[in-house]
Every structure is written in structure tokens, then in C-alpha cells.
Amino acid sequence: MSVMKRLSGILQAKANKALDRAENPADMLDLSYEKQVENLQKVRRAIADVATAKKRLELQATQLQAQAQKLQDQAKQALAQGNEDLAREALSRRATLADQLQGLGTQHQQVETQLQQLETTATRLQTQVDAFRTKKETLKASYTASKAQASIGEAVSGISESMSDAGMTLDRAQEKIAQMQARAGAVDELIDTGALPDVLGGGGDDIQKQLDAASQSGQVDAELAALKAQMGAGGGGLPAGGAAPEGGGDAGAGEGGAS
């Protein structure tokens, strides 16, 4: 059966249910108006929540991007040190980050749509609430006439349907926010547990440790060689045995100086 007809039926049912409590037309108008104002506030709160969630996603994306760049640099550094295994490890971690980033990108797009829908809802709701308030007073002033009773019914059903739509839009947004928060929490956890290196901390970054150790030992080798050469050239008491410096010492010193 038609999705559009079924959905419309659900919308009307929700709208009617919301009006069940009112006993006379004047009460119905006031009750409906109160609900509208309340709903409008809920929509505005949801907009703030979605905006916060969006900021969090953006922050995480920036963080992950920085980490991906760092791993790329580390891979290069490892290759320069001739450590291909470490370079491979860095690149494979970078691939994991790329997956996460893609997921965040998709979510960001969804959040953007949510935000737009909620903002449209809020704007239209505000206009409707204003229109309804004016109409409500006119209708109340003349509601004893049977014709006016019918108009009240129409006006109330119309606004009530829009309220149900706003309610559904709100539910959907809240569900998305919950999903987003769960995902953001998972990414944070991934960063915390060291499955991904922490870009700020450095303490848990084992790739960096290996790189630093390699370049440090390269630097020590270079200094040792320089010292030996100096003492050999000075013609001192000590024999300059093994004056030939260890290979790769210069490159190591260069890398060490950059960190």
C-alpha cells in the first residue's frame, strides 16, 4: 500500500490524538496554541543540540586529519631510516584513520541535512504559530456560530498536523544525535586506548618512539665518529683505531635535529 497514504494517515492520527483532551472549541484553540509554543521551543533546543554535535564531528575530523598527516610523515621518516616494516605499520594505521574520516564525512553531511530541516521547521512553525494566534482570537470571538465551529476545527487540524510533522522531524533528529554521539564516543575511545596514536600526547606514540630511537642512535654514531676523527687529527696519545665512521651517521643526525 502507498507509503504516502499510510504516512498521511499516521500524521492525522497523531494530530487527532493531540486534540483529544480539549472539551470545547475555545479550550481546543488555547490548548493547541500552548502546544505549538512548546513544540517550537523543543525544535529550537534540538537545533542547538545538532549544532553542538556538528561541531564535535568537525573537531574530531580535524584531529584525525592531523594524525593521518603525522603518520604519513612518520612513514617517510621510517623509510629514510631504512625501516620498511615501521613505514608499513604507519601507513596501515593511516588507512584505518582514512576509514574513520570517511565515516565522519558521511555523518557530517547527514547532520547538515538535519540542521537544515530543523531550521526550516522552526521558521515555518513560527510563522504558523503567529498566524494561528491571530486567527484564534477572531474565532473565539465568534465561536458560537456553527460556521465558526467548523472553521475552528479546520484551523486546529491544520496546525495540529504541522505539529505532528514537527514532532516526527524532532524524533528523527534526536535519534541521529544519539547515533552521532555513540560514534563520536567510539572514535574518542579508539584514540584514548592507543589503537590510534594520540596526536597531542606523543606519549603513547610507539612509531615515534622507534623513529626517535633510530635517529638518536644515528646521532650518537655520528658524534662518536666526529670525536674519533678529532682525536686522530690532533695526533694525541690515543691511537685513532677504527677512524672510518659508521654508515648513515650523517642522515641520522639530520633527522634528529629536525625533531
Partner 1 sequence: MIVRILGEGRYEVPEGDLPAIEQLDATLVDAMERGDEAAFSGTLADLIGQVRHTGTLLPADDLRTSELAVPHEGSTLAEVRALLAEEG
Question: Site map for partner 1, 165-194, x if CB under 8 A?
Answer: x--xx--x--x-------------------
Q: How far is CA 121 from CA 12, 93, 185, 247, in A?
A: 18, 42, 29, 70
Residue placing its CB nearer to partner 1 in the complex, 92 or 127: 127
What distance in Å separates the CA atoms of residue 241 and residue 239, rounded to the nearest whole number? 6
Q: Dump the DSSP string for 12-59.
A: HHHHHHHHTT--SHHHHHHHHHHHHHHHHHHHHHHHHHHHHHHHHHHH
What distance in Å separates the CA atoms of residue 176 and residue 46, rounded to the nearest whole number? 11
Q: Does 128 bind partner 1 (CB under 8 A)?
A: yes
Q: Does 5 bind partner 1 (CB under 8 A)?
A: yes
Residue 10 CB, nearest approach to partner 1 (Å) = 6
Residue placing its CB nearer to partner 1 in the complex, 175 or 188: 175
Pick the piece of the chain touching partner 1 (CB under 8 A) from 49-57, 61-69, 157-165, 182-190.
157-165
Residue 193 CB, nearest approach to partner 1 (Å) = 30
Q: Does 142 bind partner 1 (CB under 8 A)?
A: no
Could you tell me where the beta strands, DSSP code E, fall in 16-160? none
DSSP category for residue 20: T
Q: Does 6 bind partner 1 (CB under 8 A)?
A: yes
Pick the piece of the chain touching partner 1 (CB under 8 A) from 20-28, 74-82, 117-125, 229-237.
117-125
Number of Cβ within 10 Å of residue 219's Cβ equals: 18
CA 71 vs. chain centroid, Å, equals 21
Q: Which residues bind partner 1 (CB under 8 A)?
A: 1-13, 15, 110, 113, 117-118, 120-121, 123-125, 127-128, 130-132, 135, 154-155, 157-159, 161, 165, 168-169, 172, 175
